Structure 1
Amino acid sequence: MTPSKKILVIGATGYVGSHLVPNLLALGYQVIATSRSLETLKHHAWHSHPHATLAEVDLMDEGDLSSILESVSEVFYLVHGMASGSDFYQHELNMARHVSNQVAKSNVSRLIYLGATQPSNVCSTHLAARKVTGNILRDCGKQVIELRAGIIIGSGSAAFEVMRDIVSHLPVITTPVWVRSKSSPVALDTMIGYLTKLIELPIEGSPIFDVSGPEIISYEDQMRRFARIINKRIFIVKMPLLTPKISSMWLTLVTTVPKPIASSLIDGLMYDLLPTGKDISTLIPEPQLGFEQAVESALSNESDVVKNDIWGFDPDAIARWHRNYGYYPKHAGFTVETDASAEALWTSIQKVGGDEGYFFGNWLWKIRAYMDAAIGGNALKKRRPQRQSLQTGDYIDSWKVIQCAPNKHLSLLFGMKAPGLGRLEFTVKDLGETRLLDIRAWWHPAGFSGLLYWFAMMPAHLFIFKGMAFALAKSSGAKKTLPSRHT
């Protein structure tokens, strides 16, 4: 292994990419990690590693990548467009085409692409996009090694999180008939092992390999076996009338997986995701983990959800995390565009809580505080630091400051008693002549009760956050404030 070898990871903040990068760094490689958001990259613990370089890259902008590709020997292409909604197919192809064109003009020797298992005779937009993406990348004229995988068992994998949420949240599970579809799930650790070993392995041409685990299991059996692991008794009732559209809406209610990802996921899970070509294990004898072992490994790393900069590596947040909490957070908030200065907005934001209250709807906040006190909480206790400015670690009533970036961002750890873990964020983004002010709650529900709590609070959240945003802007001297049209 060449210690100075430089590796580019496109999609470093995704599920696989965020686990691959630290492994590459541990092996001594220099890594260029890209994402559409530099701030998102900085949330990961490895962002400050001396051999890590962070680069903000939006592949849809079709910008010049020559400076990033300079002296790069291998590229990992780990992006997909499932979160972009109904037009994700063209979105994925456009990104792949841009990268392919840029790599063709570079000195890159090998591109490694993680695609999806391709069953025969299926009509899945998601799976088709993955296949065509591989074809487009091979047009770059460089060596392209494609790995095709089905379900990956690991904390953060959409398919795994859907299964975990369904089992954890519901005692009686009504499912569409696609739960009978079979796959050969592979452990995340095994997948990372394959990817890292492909960097140095001598291979000719641009082959396609399947990645599979040691067992072929239906999605229904995976749910039953997962339930046994967490000591949960479940009943599964299959509903033939649950169409893909209805199924995606249903998943949005009972899981925390974002709707666009859930819809794309169902598109693929309706079919048997079984390997049809040469398995990568014939080339790389990576240790295989059975389903139960893979799940236990995933659950043992669940606290990694809060061991990052988003939660400020706060010990209270880490201690309160439970493996049955939803991995993906629910969120609700409101954004306004205002001419108030960032400094004025920040001065107002720091007055939150205590005798000043919460800018808007204080009677609702008081009702919630009394509800908390009735079950033993301390929300009625007024707390604020003596100084005007806030710092990480400060307490504001039942909240705790876990992130504090002056004029930009304040994050408060939810301290009331409720089924789950949450935070409240105030974010200011400077657009030049105007500022975006966003007030948003994030919630990782604890089982079905956590979901019920979230949906019960949703009307109040939407009402309060809108009022808070306008009131905060007004108190900051704004002459003009409008709902934001920015996305």
Structure 2
Amino acid sequence: MSRQAGLNLVFGASGYIGGHLVPRLLAAGKPVRAAARDAASLDRNGWEEVERVSADALEPETLDPVLAGVDTAYYLVHSMSAGKDFARLDLECAKNFAAAAERAGIRRIVYLGGLIPSGADSEHLVSRKETGDRLRAGAVPVTEIRAGIIVGPGSAAFEVIRDLVNALPAMVTPRWVRARTPPVALDNLLEYLVRIPEHESAAGRIFDAAGPEVLSYEELMREFGEIVGRQPLIVPVPVLTPMLSSYWLGLVTTVPTPVARALIGGLAYDIEADPEPLRRLVPQKLLSYREAVTAAMEAERLNAVAGRWTEGALMYRNYRHDYAFYAKRASGSAVTSASPESAWDVLTAIGGRNRYYALDFLWTLRELADWFVGGSGFNRGRRNTRELRIGDTVDSWQVIGLEPGRRLTLLFGMKAPGAGVLEFEIEPHEEGARITATAYWHPRGALGLLYWYPLAPFHRLIFDRMTDAIGRRAAAGEAAPATT
């Protein structure tokens, strides 16, 4: 394949930074190839002109095709969500990618790393540094940009701050809340990433990206509270170790637990940066922390109507900034000997007089509670007994996602301190199918968390029983009873 002029590969395009970088590159008039483990996850509005490909850095044979013809490769993958083994996986991925980039003869790798405080022994921070070192061990010149807290919707560190302030009027915190760090606005970081490959002098160099202020985590939380009209009481104590802090964050934030635990280790240090070299090379107006928070909320508002269901989209959080961006989750699944098509036929007849196939008395109790507080409660029914389409109402749910034969996504319509989505997935499994149901819950502060935790143990039971019942009906060749 001949090299396309200026072709940019965003490797890790389904991730947080990758998902924002692709449209930013397009807006700058740059051709883009986007790569993720599953190219289907890249089907988004506005990405129609983007070449979307599947690749996995742990499978070296998938890398050569996606690197062919590339000028600049943005390396944005990390394995924090993989749990304890993430550091080893990160190094293996970087080694494979560097070797493939060398074979493809690309001009530059741009890697987004993390600011490294002096004396840091956090596995997360050490892994980010070693990943950069492993990429640099290859023949392709690497430009590494290191950033600390990124202020933007969906950024894990920012969402921890938002969750804590919104959920807790008072909090006992570790001493690390007084550690200082230079946050950077998402817009500023993206501008650095887009423009840095234009500078040949940046090849082989490491740059620090930082905003104009250095603030403590306590100051970050207090200033966020001022913006959203809250004044949290923050009491630092010495007894909360990093391990205890990670468990505490797991309870009061919705940021995925492996990610929160990986972040915790780096929060105990004052983080210093030397941002002047990057500022001289790529000048731009830097947003203050307050301006960055305001911009993050405005970005959510402007993107409130999502082209497809995404976890943190504002429209699925009832258009409320104080609803958690990430969701608490609970799942259940079952395997059936029926074909995926048969399972889909039963699934899409859900609701109305067919009800929910298992433990219907629990659904009735929830409807009763909703009716009691003035909600839609017992408004049961659907437009068509068999067919579903986007926008249809199924009892108190609304169809917001529909991939025939594969996925059905419903938006929760009852009154509750938060917003919810229920998603069903059907996948081929051996000679039959696997049916999975997953609830996503975006809590509204402490009440939303108190609502979720008592119900969470029941969700697994309900969804296991429901998916099993759907599978048994499908295997028996039973269509759901027709409604009138």
TM-score bin, normalised by smaller chain: over 0.9
Distance 1:319 1:336, change over 3 A: closer
Q: CA, structure 1 residues 150+254, in 2 after alignment: closer, same or farther (shift >3 Å)? A: same
Quote the Cα distance in structure 2 between the aligned partners of 1:145 and 1:125.
22
Matched, 1:18 2:16: no
Distance apart, 1:306 and its partner CA? 6.2
Equivalences for residues 15-414 of structure 1 within 5 A: 15-42=16-43, 44-48=44-48, 50=49, 52-203=50-201, 205-276=203-274, 279-303=277-301, 304=303, 307-310=306-309, 317=315, 320-414=318-412
1:317 Cα deviation from its structure 2 partner:
3.6
TM score, norm. by length of structure 2: 0.94
- The one-character-per-residue Cα deviations of 1:298-346 (angstroms, maximum 9, x if unpaired) are 11122447624125999x9468221111111111011222221111101
Deviation per residue, 1:62-88 (Å, 9 max, x gap):
224222111110000111111110111
**Aligned residue identity for 1:80:** H
What is the Cα deviation at residue 220 of structure 1?
0.7
2:482 corresponding residue in structure 1: none
C-alpha change, 1:395 and 1:320, in structure 2 (3 Å) is same
Are the structure 2 counterparts of residues 312 and 99 from structure 1 closer, same or farther at C-alpha, using a change threshold of 3 Å?
closer
Q: Which runs of 5+ in 2 are unaligned?
A: 478-484
Amino acid at match of 2:403: A
Whether the aligned pair in 1 keeps the contact of 2:4 and 2:70 (CA below 8 Å) is no
CA–CA distance in structure 2, aligned partners of residues 3 and 79 of structure 1:
23
Count of matched residue pairs: 474
Question: What residue number does 1:485 align with?
Answer: none
Residue type of the alignment partner of 2:18:
G
Instruction: Describe the SS at the equivalent of 1:65.
Output: helix
Q: Secondary structure at the match of 2:402?
A: strand
Tell me which amino acid in the other structure corresponds to 1:118.
Answer: I
SS of the equivalent of 1:324 reads coil
**Residue equivalent to 2:481:** none
Q: Which moved more, 1:64-73 or 1:260-269?
A: 64-73
SS state of the match for residue 325, structure 2?
A: coil
Q: Does structure 1 conserve the Cα–Cα contact (< 8 Å) formed by 2:317 and 2:418?
A: no
Matched, 1:7 2:8: yes
Check the 8 A contact 1:3/1:29 in 2, yes or no. Answer: no
Amino acid at match of 1:401: V
Indicate conservation of the 8 Å contact 1:408/1:427, yes or no. Answer: yes
Letter in 2 for 1:15: Y
Q: How far is 1:422 from its partner?
A: 1.2
Are the equivalent residues in 2 in contact too, given 1:8–1:32 (CA < 8 A)? yes
For residues 433 and 129 of structure 2, the distance between their equivalents in structure 1, rounded to whole angstroms, comes to 42
C-alpha distance after superposition, 1:116-155 (max 9, x if no partner): 1111112111111111111111122111101111111111
Q: Which runs of 5+ in 1 are unaligned?
A: 480-487
Superposition deviation, residue 97 in structure 1:
0.6
Q: CA separation in 1, counterparts of 2:260 and 2:74?
A: 25
Structure 1 residues 463, 169: CA separation in 2 closer, same or farther (over 3 Å shift)?
Answer: same
TM-score when normalising by structure 1: 0.93
**Alignment check: 8 A CA contact 2:312 2:326 kept:** no
Is the Cα–Cα contact under 8 Å of residues 56 and 63 in structure 2 kept in the other structure? no
Q: Quick check: 1:339–1:433 contact (8 Å CA) kept in 2? A: yes
Question: Residues 58-117 of structure 1: CA distance to partner in whole angstroms, max 9, x if unpaired?
Answer: 222222422211111000011111111011110111110110110111121011111011
Cα deviation digits, residues 160-187 of structure 1 (max 9, x gap): 0001100010001111111111101010
Residues 345 and 204 of structure 1: CA distance in aligned 2, closer, same or farther (over 3 Å): closer
Tell me the equivalent position of 1:482: none
Change (3 A) 1:93 1:468: same
CA deviation vs aligned residue, 1:23-42 (integer Å, no higher than 9, x gap): 11112211111112223212
Report the alpha carbon displacement of residue 425 of structure 1 after superposing the two structures with TM: 1.0
CA distance in 2, matches of 1:351, 1:399: 13
Distance 1:191 1:312 in 2: 23
Q: 1:422 and 1:384 mapped to 2: Cα distance?
A: 19
Q: Which deviates more from structure 2 when the two are superposed, residues 244-253 or residues 273-282? A: 273-282
Residue 200 of structure 2 aligns to a residue whose secondary structure is coil
Distance in 1 (CA, whole Å) between partners of 2:311 and 2:126 is 39
Q: 1:243-290 deviations in whole A, cap 9, x for unaligned?
A: 111111111110000110000000111111211576411211121011
Deviation of residue 46 (structure 1)?
Answer: 3.1
Native 8 Å contact 1:150 1:274 kept in 2: no
Task: Tell me which moved more, 205-214 or 361-370.
Answer: 205-214
Please identify, of 159-168 and 265-274, the stretch whose mean Cα deviation from structure 2 is larger. 265-274
Rounded Cα–Cα distance in structure 2 between residues aligned with 1:120 and 1:277 = 16
Which segment drifts farther, 349-358 or 430-439?
430-439
The separation in 2 between residues aligned to 1:239 and 1:227, in whole angstroms, is: 21
| Larger CA deviation: 433-442 vs 289-298 | 433-442
**Is the CA contact 1:305–1:327 (under 8 Å) kept in the aligned structure 2?**
no
Aligned to 1:203, the other structure's residue is in SS state: helix
* Whole-Å separation in 2 of the counterparts to 1:144 and 1:306: 37
Q: For 1:342 and 1:469, how far apart are their aligned partners in 2?
A: 13
- The 10-residue stretch of structure 1 (189-198 or 265-274) with the greater mean CA deviation from structure 2: 265-274
Give the residue type in structure 2 aligned to 1:283: L
**SS state at 1:63 partner:** helix
8 A Cα contact 1:154 1:295, kept in partner: yes
Aligned alpha-carbon RMSD (Å): 2.0
Percent identity between the aligned chains?
39
